[in-house]
């Protein structure tokens, strides 16, 4: 038996956060397409289901939990739009952290200022070079406890 449009709407009325809405979609339509992401190496669009996205968000949540962050800690993200950015946001909010978005077209100094001003404990970005430029901008980033690079390999030579 399928839910009527009205029953689905009433079920949504009880949801108050984006995290609840996301989990509702994972449960109600796990095999539905949640989003698509372009794979630059294969030059193809890759579909991600709600179930797959839910698993990825759970992995991010566990990673945030392993950092022993407290409720309300700021976590900054400088990632391109895509699966990792969605997972970061959903996991941060679900773990009662405050996402601090940094914009890809901002200068390194602007990103460094936002990191300093927000008191972010963690920065997640996709390239070591982005972090290096932010670090060199001359701001006090002492609140930053961890920088996580999602795509690059660790730099060689220490």
pLDDT digits (tens, 9 = 90+) for 79-95: 999 999 999 999 999 99
Query: Domain for residue 60, yes or no?
Result: yes
Q: pTM of this prediction? A: 0.85
Q: Are 74 and 120 in contact (CB under 8 A)?
A: yes
What pLDDT does residue 109 have? 98
Q: List the CATH number of the domain containing 60.
A: 3.40.50.980
Query: Domain for residue 155, yes or no?
Result: no
- Determine the structural domain holding residue 19 and report its residue range: 5-149
Query: Domain for residue 33, yes or no?
Result: yes
Query: Domain for residue 93, yes or no?
Result: yes
Query: Domain for residue 51, yes or no?
Result: yes
- Distance, in Å, from the CA atom of 21 to the CA atom of 40, rounded to the nearest integer, reads 30
Give how many domains the chain has, as a whole number. 1
47 has a pLDDT exceeding 50:
yes
Q: SS3 string of 2-54?
A: CCCHHHHHHHHHCCCCHHHHHHHHHHHCCCCEEEEEEECCCCEEEEEEHHHHH
Query: Which pLDDT band holds residue 149 (cuts at 50, 70, 90)?
Result: very high
- CA atoms within a 13 Å half-sphere pointing along the CA-CB vector of 51: 5
Query: Domain for residue 158, yes or no?
Result: no
What pLDDT does residue 158 have? 42
Query: Domain for residue 156, yes or no?
Result: no
Tokens read off for 87: 């997972």
Query: Domain for residue 157, yes or no?
Result: no
What pLDDT does residue 157 have? 43
């Amino acid at each position: 038996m399928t839910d009527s449009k009205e029953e689905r709407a009433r079920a949504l009325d009880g949801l108050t956060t984006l995290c609840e809405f996301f989990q509702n979609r994972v449960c109600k339509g796990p095999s539905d397409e949640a989003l698509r992401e372009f794979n630059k190496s294969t030059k193809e669009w890759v579909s991600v289901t709600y179930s797959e996205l839910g698993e990825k968000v759970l992995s991010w949540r566990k990673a945030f939990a392993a950092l022993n962050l407290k409720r309300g800690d700021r976590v900054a993200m400088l990632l391109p739009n895509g699966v990792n950015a969605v997972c970061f946001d959903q996991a941060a909010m679900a773990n009662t952290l405050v996402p601090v978005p940094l914009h890809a077209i901002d200068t390194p100094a602007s990103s460094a200022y936002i990191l300093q001003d927000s008191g972010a404990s963690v920065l997640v970005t996709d390239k070591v070079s982005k972090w290096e430029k932010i670090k060199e901008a001359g701001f006090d980033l002492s609140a930053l406890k961890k920088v996580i690079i999602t795509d690059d390999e660790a730099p060689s030579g220490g």
